[in-house]
Amino acid sequence: MAAFLVSAPSPLMPVASFGIFTGMLVGVNFLFDLACFPIVILFHSEVITPCFARLVPFSRQTLSVRTESQERLITAHQNRISRDNNDGSRDMTYHQLQLQDKVNEENETVLDTVQHIEHKNKVVWFLENKFYKFMIWKPVRVVIPLFFLVITAFFTYSATTLGADSSQVKVYRESNNYAKAIERHFSGFQQNYDDRYNKLHLTWGMKPQNLASCDWKSGDSCTGQSEIDEHFDMSSSEAQISLMNLCHRLENFTDKEISSYGIKRNPVTNKPEIACFMSALYKFIQNTGYLENIPFPFTKESVVPFMKRNFHIYNISSIPENFDRYFEILVSYWLSNGYTHTLTEDFLTYHRLIGEMTIPGVTQCFNRSSYIGTYGTKLRVVAIEINTTFMFQNLGYREGKPIYHLWEKFIQQEVSKMPSSMKSGFQSSRESWHWIKIQETLVKSAVRGVVIGISLAFPILTITTLNVVIGFLATICITMITVVVVGLIPLIGWKLGVLESINLSLIVGLSVDYVVHFAEAYRTSPFTHRKGRVKSMLEAMGLSVLSGAITTFGAAVFMLFAEIQFSYQFGIFVMCTIGTSFMFSFLLFPAFMASWGPEGNTGSIPAIVKALKLKCQRKRTIQTLNY
């Protein structure tokens, strides 16, 4: 459950919700197993079995034989517990352990004889005899760990090649007609000038979007709140000069810079497609005969004479003495084409990049013959628009992140040169940077989920098995399973996208299942020597693990026929994880335990605690005697 819940803090709604759902599912399943399953067993034992025995008389003999078999197992287990509680048992030598296990194996032979009478399951018999002898054979105990170590090393290298998926989340499988149509729409034809490339904006007057009101529940529907920068002001000479210098810097990028920053060139002029309103405003004034004598920067000294010459538009006497929005006077005149309001190329390009607001008591409206408009407004937002060469559908994480950092570094350097009224500048893209951030979050969420899951596996397994050695060996096995499954993803041809990140949140949870069953069976074995424990482990849990693997793997097979990409991919992922986990738990873990499994009380937490208590008691006794 903990391995699934580590995905809950993810900022991505699908990953977080799936982790919470699977974690809750495991928790509810555990509670029902703990509360309901014992009741079902008792009902079967106390009600159904006696009724069946009365109805079918010959079943009583089988019932009595089973009871005798169970009694023998209980007796052997109680003997082991009594030895563990004996203080002198911790001093038993390796030879004494072997002698004790020899007696236990003789008892087990008797149990096998009884169980053969019971028509013992052939799979269980194979596991505790043929398979057990194969696993404890010394060459096998050496070859299997080395073989799995080589496999893990190969898949570790494969996992390092796993990259973020640049494409959008696919709803349908590639064989589906809808999926083919979507793929051909975006990638099947050569892009032309009319296709929608991403646009980059360098913006002043706005603060970055305030997302304080958004949380993981709101998902993508929450866009935050827009906030105005009250310190932004374009009226000063320093602000106008700094923005003009930035425009010249962008328009004179070298070929290498244009390529590195991903700027699109105009197919006719071959110039970078950069819409900077300061350059356009300056050209308008220089190319208009009766305006060309207005010097730059556009301050009160240069604009007031222009207003006096155009007295049919501007009423100088109505302007307050503290009025300082002279730069906006020329901006309004330029966009409205001299207040004639005839559409121009500049208006179509720049009107959406400039935001104005009226000033109460200052802004004036006029309607004189063919001249209609307002003046005396204040600029609140300005932006420079740059056409790029990438589309967010095709922008990969590896390619897009360097471009994002280039623009981020560029705007920070330029803003640092500007006056205080222009310090709010930032760069943004409507879709591309957001998608790159999602891909980066997917990578971090997947890595964090796997690392936290494996980190939690060791303490949890140690606590549940009450043995440090068993917990350590089980954690190594789970780590190798996780590495192999992650390494399978690029070999299959997948990349790390939303669906893969969701699936990765399940790796540790699915990998730990079979190993922990064997680990607990090894710990509860009535034997003290590792070979006897391995045999008991295979006998007690081998069939359960095999049955669980077959049912889970078989259920995932039916998902291969789904048309939805997530269901299809989830089925393959579950099959790979279950298959890998089964192979490692049935081959590697028994080999580990047959070679390095703890014997007696080695690594036992209760034994360690008991030894520490005895040591403290002896120390206090010695101190008491000394006094």
Burial label for 452, CB within 10 Å (0-12, 13-18, 19+), is: middle
User: Quick one: pLDDT at residue 191?
Assistant: 56
Mean pLDDT of the chain: 81
Q: Could you tell me where in the chain the CATH 1.20.1640.10 domains are found?
A: 121-162+440-620
Is the pLDDT at 68 greater than 50, yes or no? no
User: Quick one: pLDDT at residue 79?
Assistant: 61
- pLDDT-derived band at 274 (thresholds 50, 70, 90) equals very high
Read off the DSSP letter of residue 558. G
Minimal CA–CA distance to 417: which of 201, 570, 248, 600?
248
CATH class of 121-162+440-620: mainly alpha
Q: Is the peptide bond before 38 cis (omega within 30 degrees of 0)?
A: no
User: Quick one: pLDDT at residue 114?
Assistant: 45
* CA 570, chain centre distance (Å): 16
Write down the pTM of the prediction: 0.68
User: Quick one: pLDDT at residue 248?
Assistant: 94
Measure the CA–CA gap between 20 and 46, rounded to whole angstroms: 39
User: Quick one: pLDDT at residue 476?
Assistant: 93
Measure the CA–CA gap between 521 and 535, rounded to whole angstroms: 10
What's the pLDDT tens digit per position in 413-449? Answer: 999 999 999 998 999 887 778 777 777 777 777 788 7
Is the pLDDT at 193 greater than 50, yes or no? no
Average the pLDDT over each of 17-21, 242-246, 404-408 and give the range with the smallest value.
17-21
Residue 473 CA neighbour count, 13 Å, CB half: 25
Minimal CA–CA distance to 517: which of 470, 455, 576, 570?
470
Measure the CA–CA gap between 479 and 5, rounded to whole angstroms: 18
How does DSSP assign 253-289, residue by residue? --HHHHHHTTBPBPTTT--B-EE-HHHHHHHHHHHSG
Q: What does the pLDDT average to over 122-140?
A: 88
Phi, psi of 263 (to 5 degrees): -90, 135
Angle of helix 507-523 relative to helix 565-583, nearest 10 degrees, comes to 30
Q: What's the token pair of residue 326? A: 């002279």
Contact predicate 538/131, CB 8 Å = yes
CA angle 423, 428, 431 (to 5 degrees): 165
User: Quick one: pLDDT at residue 581?
Assistant: 93
Phi, psi of 375 (to 5 degrees): -145, 165
What's the pLDDT tens digit per position in 221-266? Answer: 677 788 888 889 988 999 999 999 999 999 999 999 999 999 999 8
Is the pLDDT at 2 greater than 80, yes or no? no
Q: What's the token pair of residue 439? A: 């891909």
Q: What does the pLDDT average to over 187-194?
A: 58
Is the pLDDT at 532 greater than 80, yes or no? yes
Residue 60 identity (one-letter amino acid): R
Read off the DSSP letter of residue 385. E
User: Quick one: pLDDT at residue 70?
Assistant: 47
Measure the CA–CA gap between 368 and 393, rounded to whole angstroms: 50
- pLDDT-derived band at 117 (thresholds 50, 70, 90) equals very low
106, 111, 113, 117 alpha-carbon torsion, rounded to 10°: 180
Q: What does the pLDDT average to over 195-208?
A: 84
- pLDDT-derived band at 188 (thresholds 50, 70, 90) equals low
User: Quick one: pLDDT at residue 111?
Assistant: 46
Measure the CA–CA gap between 331 and 344, rounded to whole angstroms: 14
Average the pLDDT over each of 89-103, 390-404, 503-517, 540-554 and give the range with the smallest value.
89-103
Contact predicate 360/413, CB 8 Å = no
- pLDDT-derived band at 398 (thresholds 50, 70, 90) equals confident
Contact predicate 568/461, CB 8 Å = no
Contact predicate 605/535, CB 8 Å = no
CB neighbours of residue 94 within 10 Å: 9
Measure the CA–CA gap between 280 and 211, rounded to whole angstroms: 34
Higher pLDDT, 67 or 14: 14
